[in-house]
Copies of this chain bind each other. A is one copy, B any other.
Amino acid sequence: MRAVDVISKKRDGGELSTEEIRFFIEGFTRGAIPDYQASAWAMAVTLRGMNERETTDLTLAMVESGERLDLSQVVELAVDKHSTGGVGDKTTLVVEPVVAACGVPVGKMSGRGLGLSGGTLDKLESIPGYRVDLAPEEFLAQLREVGVVLTGQSLDLAPADGKLYALRDVTGTVPSVPLIASSVMSKKIAAGSQAVVLDVKVGVGAFMQSLEAAKELARMMVSIGRGAGVKVVALLSDMNQPLGNAVGNALEVKEAIATLRGGGPADFVEHCLLVAAHMVRLAGRAADLEHARGQAAAAIRDGSGLAKFRALVQAQGGDPATVDEPDRLPRARMMEEIRAKAGGHLAGVHAAEIGLASVTLGAGRAQKGDPIDHAVGVVVHHKVGDRIAPGDLLATVHANDPDRLVEAAARVLAAHQIRPEPVEPLPLYYGIVE
């Protein structure tokens, strides 16, 4: 078999066989197939597509390229969640302890933020002392003893995916549904997941900006799950405006803690309950979604979710006092209130613009490896559809640099679109694929 023939077959719109896909990914992983062939292949896949069978084979070939975490000795059925990334998406911080409190052990390997999307690891590192570099043995021990783990990727999971992603990033081959779907699913499967709740974000602050594209991606991931023996539920959730109010690392941790205490913004609370309910149901801990949701709500109401979060922070070396006194988390030196110039109805809180304002302040990264400032960010106070009076507080900008503050403040104000006529609130969800 020759790599050029596999590339040419896909170029001509052909369906690659299981053997061809394995040959290509295996050769690419060990360097026998050079980057220039892999990038031509990735472009052919981007423009010609892949069917569900091919994408499942690609996913499994990437899983086989590295190590695989086996959680079967620790949990009955390993359930995980994954978000395609959005602005203000701190869902993992609430959902994982809540699900753990419902009796479902959850161990998750998260990533760092890049561009608009924040990363769970960056958020957790707002907590003084919190370690995100657990070794595989520590991961398993903590999962067994505490029932919840949130750390970075310590095993060499799906290295083919890592290598391919780095290449796609510089060759214009990121926006391909089969390549995105196989990338997400290969890491989940290699990390030992047997069931996954996927949170596919749609809107101006998400990678998928059209519902059509998001649905296609969701269907593809559900199909990979079917082919790989992994239960998958995909939620299509709105990312036109930020999720919840807080955007920025420590600010988001505070909002997550508030939510675990029974507070938190209504949209974010609802989102956490739904994701947690799907996870509890997939884990077989509830007969149906309604009962699962009841368990999740109870875990918030009775404080067991918060207790799990405290146990998680303590187990990973973080200061548990921050959980009870969130003001101990890093705080920015400057705060500026952004107020409405005119009254009316809020027609848009442009998620991408709010995300960019947060990156401008130093909360996110333009390039991999850039340092970040955990204290800064933006807190919005209104949702699309809200009635606004002139002078109403729209958002608060938390900054450590006066120039960045000016730039971010202008961006945050411009991100709020106010119209005289009434505006319908945005839905939280556009559908569920399973």
A40 to B42, CA, bound (A): 8
A35 beta carbon closer than 8 Å to chain B: yes
A38 beta carbon closer than 8 Å to chain B: yes
A10 to B46, CA, bound (A): 12
Copies in the complex: 2
A397 beta carbon closer than 8 Å to chain B: no
CB A66 to nearest CB in B, in angstroms, measures 21
Give 9 nearest A-B pairs by CB, closest first: A7-B172, A40-B171, A8-B172, A43-B43, A35-B36, A39-B40, A36-B39, A40-B43, A47-B47
Chain A contact residues, majority secondary structure: helix
* Besides A36-B38, A37-B39, A43-B44, 11 other A-B contacts (C-beta < 8 A): A7-B171, A8-B172, A11-B46, A11-B172, A11-B173, A36-B39, A36-B171, A39-B40, A39-B43, A40-B173, A41-B172
A4 beta carbon closer than 8 Å to chain B: yes
Chain B residue at smallest Cβ distance from A13: B47
Chain A contact residue count (CB 8 A cutoff)? 27
A-B contact pairs, 16 of them (CB 8 A): A5-B172, A7-B171, A11-B47, A11-B172, A11-B173, A34-B35, A35-B35, A36-B38, A36-B167, A40-B40, A40-B43, A40-B172, A41-B172, A43-B47, A44-B47, A44-B172
A10 to B35, CA, bound (A): 20
On chain B, the residues within 8 Å of A169 by CB distance are 4
Chain B residue at smallest Cβ distance from A9: B172
- Chain B CB count within 10 A is highest, among A39, A42, A172, for A172
- Interface positions of A from 62 to 86, Cβ below 8 Å from B: none
On chain B, the residues within 8 Å of A38 by CB distance are 36
In the complex, per-residue mask of A1-31: 1 if CB is within 8 Å of any chain B CB, else 0: 0011101101100000000000000000000
A170 beta carbon closer than 8 Å to chain B: yes
Contact A37 B171 (CB under 8 A): yes
On chain B, the residues within 8 Å of A7 by CB distance are 43, 171-172
A53 beta carbon closer than 8 Å to chain B: no
On chain B, the residues within 8 Å of A35 by CB distance are 34-36
On chain B, the residues within 8 Å of A40 by CB distance are 39-40, 42-43, 171-173
- Interface positions of A from 151 to 178, Cβ below 8 Å from B: 167, 169-173
A55 to B50, CA, bound (A): 30
A48 beta carbon closer than 8 Å to chain B: yes
Chain B residue at smallest Cβ distance from A45: B43
A251 to B170, CA, bound (A): 51
A48 to B46, CA, bound (A): 12
Chain B residue at smallest Cβ distance from A48: B47
